[in-house]
Structure 1
Amino acid sequence: YLKSLGITPYQLRNDACMNIYTGAYFLALAFNKWGVTWQAIGAYNAGFKNNEIQNKRRLIYARKINEVYRKIKNNQHQ
């Protein structure tokens, strides 16, 4: 899909702005599909396919991100 937009793997590895922009684009797509939810956060990493394997992958990734988020939030309040 990215190739059709003219985005190459080289650009993603070597152009920080392109990398961030592309990640934000896919996160926005996920938010549009699932709302601002942990499912959308999981889709950012595990993809959008609607099957049991992808659902599990989304959940695993979302839990990891939630754990990091909570650690950061707790450290800010100490």
Structure 2
Amino acid sequence: MKVQVDPKRLTLRRVEAGLNMTALAEQVGVSKGHVSMVERGLANFSPRNLVKIATVLQCSIDDLIVPVKPDTTPESES
């Protein structure tokens, strides 16, 4: 299952942590451009970098991703 970072949630958490894009990028080991692209919804972080970001921002991964909606498709009866 692919996890999608929520751009608004990421930006909010970064700002709340008092970090600019450059500082977050340096602490995680990615480029500022990549952080910018994720915050604009044009890219995503690898699972490894998502864990690093959650650690730096002192939040859970769930705080940074698009909420997963439960599958409401009824199972076919046999």
**TM-score computed with the length of structure 2 as normaliser:** 0.27
**TM-score computed with the length of structure 1 as normaliser:** 0.27
Task: Pick the structure with more helix per residue.
Answer: 1
